[in-house]
Amino acid sequence: MKIDWRVVVDKRPDFSKANCIGAPPDTFFPSPATNTGRVPKITKQKLAEARTYCVPCPIKSECLEYACRTDSVGIWGGVVLSIHLSRKLRNQHGWELQRETIVIS
């Protein structure tokens, strides 16, 4: 059996250009994510810390779009995202939901 990841996201940003490269992941994802679509507890201090990376970032809008297209939660592009907010932004901007899929052969 072979497991193959096939990415169906067609608008993946070039994360190598992101200001957050090398930043601690808990800056943007402060507690373990759950499958409930709820955002983990994010304090104002944690958001301010994340925004020091996000606000001047050259790919912040692409980052936010990617997160919305993939129903990601946490801080993306300087915005605290939940599944609900991702859906709202997708509808406002006409972005389609895209998923990563696993192909087992």
The model's pLDDT over 22-68, given as tens digits with 9 standing for 90+, comes to 999 889 987 665 555 565 678 899 899 999 999 999 999 999 999 99
Give the pLDDT confidence score for residue 12 in this predicted structure.
79
- CA 35 – CA 83 distance, rounded (Å): 10
Residue 5 has pLDDT above 90, yes or no: no
CA distance 46 to 27: 6
Please tell me the predicted confidence (pLDDT) of residue 57: 97
Provide the whole-model pTM. Answer: 0.76
CB 69 within 8 A of CB 96: yes
